[in-house]
Amino acid sequence: MDKKTYIFAADVTRDIAIIGVVIIHTINAVYTRPDFFGGITWWITTFLDSASRISIPLFIMLSGYLLLKKDETMEQSLKRIASRIIVPFIFWVLFYFWYGGGLPSFNFIRVSILKNVFQSNVFHLYYLVILMGLYVIAPLIRAYLRSVSFASQEFLMKIFLVGGVLQVGLEFIFQTCAAENFFTRWMPYTGFFIAGYVLGTKQHLLKTSKLFIWYAAAFTTTVGLNYLHYFLVKYKYNFLDAPGCLSYYSDHYLSINVVIMSLCAFIFLLHASYGFLQNNRIAAKIIASLARTSFGIYLAHPFINRFLEMQFHLAVDISKLPIFIIITLKFFLVFVLSYFLTFFCLKIPIVQLVFGGKR
């Protein structure tokens, strides 16, 4: 670890983001179910899901913050993509098609995979597709940002953020989603990428109290809209859904409520003081270790989750345990097992490449 370039706040942000991702994928079997609607556990999972929706935006903004500060050429960016993203992407796409949601079969490995990849219909790995596009365009964005004033940087950030929000909003208004593909999936998220640089490199003027108010208002809106969504689903009035979208509006990473939550959280997390954690050697080591393995945890955790459901009957429809115990136990096991799997695999030559390790 290079102490001169190490940013503790970046690791904390990365840890918060990966915890949120695992929460979403381990509790969705409850809050997405109309038959659980309105119960205590449903409310808990809905609050957790709403709070965790900042996870992917945080990852994207953190990438923008770290990458757009670097002096990289297009060639260097392409090398980064080839070594850190393409290898894990190919391996895990094939793996998840083979695994088939818990029923491994080579029958899933067929030419149609190419169609899914082109449409960026690749499970949770769509995030890697977004990263590839943003990494390719990063040198151009970097060159522009460095040639203009901070006011112009902020203006560009706002234009792209508003563009992404408008696209998603219009998709749900007109009940149709954009025909995104492998080469365009990144475009709506460019605002987050630029925001990472703009909000990360300058101390923002908003006070912590105002950030909290904006975040609380957006979070409350997210919970309320989620309640409305599942109320309509339960009573079969789910006309607010747009077929083919990443998720319903209130949970979409580019819904205005989630965008506000994400921006506020990023500013707070990246500029907060962590002296009490940095001065605790054990806590600092845990935070750094989780950050190093976060990419591998992201790649592997759906497999671990499904494996536990299939092999150890930790699915809500199978286990006889109370639902709250199931999801709590499953989150803990998925996170810990994904961490240790990544931790050890990153130490093995060649194998480390499929977990995002360096050559």
180 pLDDT band, cuts 50/70/90, is confident
Q: What does the pLDDT read at residue 242?
A: 57
The share of the chain scoring above pLDDT 90, in percent, equals 74
pLDDT over 70 (residue 281): yes
Give the model's pLDDT for residue 161.
Answer: 98
pLDDT band at 2 (very low <50, low <70, confident <90, very high): low
Whether residue 244 is predicted with pLDDT greater than 80 in this model: the reply is no
Query: Residue 238's pLDDT band (boundaries 50, 70, 90)?
Result: low
pTM here is: 0.95
| Range in 76-85, 203-212, 340-349 with the lowest mean pLDDT | 203-212
Phi, psi dihedral angles at 345 (to 5 degrees): -70, -30
Label residue 232 by pLDDT band (50, 70, 90).
Answer: confident
> Looking at the predicted structure, is the pLDDT value of residue 358 above 80?
no
pLDDT of 359 > 90? The answer is no
